[in-house]
């Protein structure tokens, strides 16, 4: 099995990898320190088990888990968390995780969980017939073959007629990303947004082409087809809200010859007149970050999740996290923590406030957690810091 450990603490990542390598030498164990890096790896590797920290700088584990629900349903997920609160566990279970382990995770507990998952995976494989296995991996197979076919490359004896039967009529949807950075992440956003929009309005699929291009094939329900312009406007609106990256959007007229798709795509890529191109301007990224900073400054004492702030500026959480770190040089969670700690220092100078009051005023209902964060930041407890001020 392929195992991916996602945790921002190096000692935990390496400790888990060491334990797994010693106990399960036949596993391939990979590690990354952020959800963004996890997405990049998941786009290129088949991961069977994901060991995922629930709270990390930037995009958190629950947000990653929600994003992967549609595209990686076969991946078994185990949450690793320092928080035993029921709300976290409840949300994780709702998103389909296999287990919820509270840090510090002992070796025996990790080994026991992985042994159960290995047996479960082996049982799944035994129950799958060859036909079932092909069906399970159809998305990967179809994307690889369809991509080669569209680009005029050899696909051996694979017959696209089965796909053609599902799409007696269809539209081609083409997105070309204009940005130079984080292409894999932007591909991930486009694929997930369009896949969801296609499912809401008909049936279709998405494939990534070379470089910065994404191609979709969609057969709309008849009532949607009758208002095709609304479908197109909706697709563009969803992309613009979630992507916030310069791109071009192209949607074909209604087509009926599935086997002519390579010619249609070739005409599209070379400026063919059969398809109408519409360019979508990028939003001003600096404005989005500035709005976010103003909101954070006014509400930092509240429960400010990355997802909530991203929704305020109408951005996809993955993209917002990347943009925020690129603009400020630090991650979203680190920035909010830094802001809270600086404010806490100011409030501790006011001896009329109890330390419990200070904690709540900067967004921490749990005094113990506040003390831990403060000490980690300044190498001194809030109480000792207040004494030093005198």
Average pLDDT over residues 362-374: 93
pLDDT at 94: 58
Are the CB atoms for 117 and 78 separated by under 8 Å? yes
Are the CB atoms for 81 and 88 separated by under 8 Å? yes
Average pLDDT over residues 291-305: 86
Which pLDDT tens digit goes with each residue over 321-332? 888 888 899 999
Pair 268, 144 in one domain: yes
CATH code, domain with 9: 3.40.50.2300
Pair 121, 187 in one domain: no
Report how far Cα 193 is from the mean position of its chain's Cα atoms.
11
Phi/psi of residue 254, each to 5°? -70, 125
CATH code, domain with 234: 3.30.70.270
Which pLDDT tens digit goes with each residue over 173-209? 988 886 655 566 677 778 878 888 898 999 988 888 7
- Read off the pLDDT band of 141 (50, 70, 90): low
Pair 249, 292 in one domain: no
- Read off the pLDDT band of 343 (50, 70, 90): very high
Pair 88, 75 in one domain: yes
pLDDT at 282: 40
pLDDT at 142: 65
Pair 261, 293 in one domain: no
Q: Among the three residues 92, 109, 127, which one is the final residue of a domain in this structure?
A: 127
pLDDT at 276: 34
Q: What is the token pair recorded at 291?
A: 């709005």
Pair 179, 263 in one domain: yes
**Can you give the residue range of the structural domain that contains 300?**
285-389
- Read off the pLDDT band of 53 (50, 70, 90): confident
Pair 201, 261 in one domain: yes
pLDDT at 356: 93
Which pLDDT tens digit goes with each residue over 254-287? 888 888 888 888 777 665 333 333 333 344 455 6
Pair 298, 275 in one domain: no
- Calculate the average pLDDT of the chain: 79
- Read off the pLDDT band of 71 (50, 70, 90): low
Provide the Cα torsion 137, 143, 145, 148; round to 10°: -160
Pair 115, 143 in one domain: no
CATH code, domain with 352: 1.10.10.60
pLDDT value at 376 more than 70 = yes
Query: Which residue would you say has higher pLDDT here, 80 or 42?
Result: 80
pLDDT at 180: 59
Radius of gyration from C-alpha coordinates of the chain = 24
Pair 274, 156 in one domain: yes
Q: Among the three residues 127, 150, 180, which one is the final residue of a domain in this structure?
A: 127
DSSP letter assigned to residue 242: H
Rounded to whole angstroms, the Cα distance separating 58 from 332 reads 5
- Read off the pLDDT band of 339 (50, 70, 90): very high
Pair 293, 272 in one domain: no
Q: Among the three residues 127, 159, 193, which one is the final residue of a domain in this structure?
A: 127
| Helix or strand (DSSP H, E) at 173 | strand 171-177
**What is the domain count for the chain?**
3
Q: Where are the alpha helices (DSSP H) in 329-366?
A: 332-348, 355-361
pLDDT value at 379 more than 90 = yes
pLDDT value at 157 more than 70 = no
Q: What is the token pair recorded at 339?
A: 């802001």
What does the angle CA 291 – CA 195 – CA 225 come to, to the nearest 5 degrees?
A: 105
The closest of 187, 219, 174, 19 to 101, measured between CA atoms, is 19
pLDDT value at 216 more than 80 = yes
Pair 269, 315 in one domain: no
């Amino acid at each position: 099995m392929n195992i991916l450990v996602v945790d921002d603490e190096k000692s935990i990542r390496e400790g888990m990898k060491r334990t797994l390598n010693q106990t399960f030498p036949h596993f391939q164990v990979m590690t990354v320190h952020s959800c963004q890096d996890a997405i990049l790896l998941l786009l290129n590797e088949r991961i069977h088990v994901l060991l995922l920290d629930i709270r990390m700088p930037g995009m958190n584990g629950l947000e990653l888990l929600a994003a992967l629900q549609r595209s990686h349903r076969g991946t078994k997920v185990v949450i690793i968390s320092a928080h035993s609160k029921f709300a976290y566990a409840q949300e994780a279970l709702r998103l389909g995780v296999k287990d919820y382990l509270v840090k510090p995770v002992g070796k025996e507990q990790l080994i026991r969980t992985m042994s159960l998952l290995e047996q479960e995976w082996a049982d799944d494989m035994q129950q799958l017939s060859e036909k079932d296995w092909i069906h399970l991996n159809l998305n990967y197979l179809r994307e690889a073959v369809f991509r080669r076919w569209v680009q005029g490359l050899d696909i051996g004896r694979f017959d696209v007629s089965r796909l053609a039967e599902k799409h007696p009529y269809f539209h081609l949807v083409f997105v070309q990303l204009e940005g130079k950075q984080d292409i894999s992440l932007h591909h991930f956003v486009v694929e997930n947004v369009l896949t969801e929009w296609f499912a809401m309005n008909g049936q279709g699929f998405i494939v990534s082409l070379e470089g910065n291009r994404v191609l979709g094939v969609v057969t709309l329900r008849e009532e949607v087809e009758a208002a095709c312009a609304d479908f197109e406007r909706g697709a563009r609106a969803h992309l613009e809200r979630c992507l916030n990256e310069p791109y071009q959007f192209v949607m074909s007229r209604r087509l009926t010859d599935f086997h002519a798709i390579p010619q249609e795509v070739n005409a599209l890529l070379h400026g063919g007149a059969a398809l109408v191109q519409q360019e979508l301007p990028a939003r001003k990224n600096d404005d989005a970050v500035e709005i976010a900073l103003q909101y954070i400054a006014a509400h930092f004492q509240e429960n400010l999740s990355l997802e909530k702030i991203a929704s305020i500026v109408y951005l996809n959480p993955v993209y917002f996290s990347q943009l925020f770190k690129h603009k400020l040089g630090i991650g979203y969670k680190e920035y909010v923590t830094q802001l809270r700690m600086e404010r806490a220092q100011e409030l501790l100078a006011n001896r009329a406030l109890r330390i419990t009051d200070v904690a709540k005023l900067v967004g921490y209902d749990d005094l113990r957690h506040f003390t831990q964060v403060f000490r980690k930041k300044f190498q001194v407890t809030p109480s000792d810091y207040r004494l030093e001020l005198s």
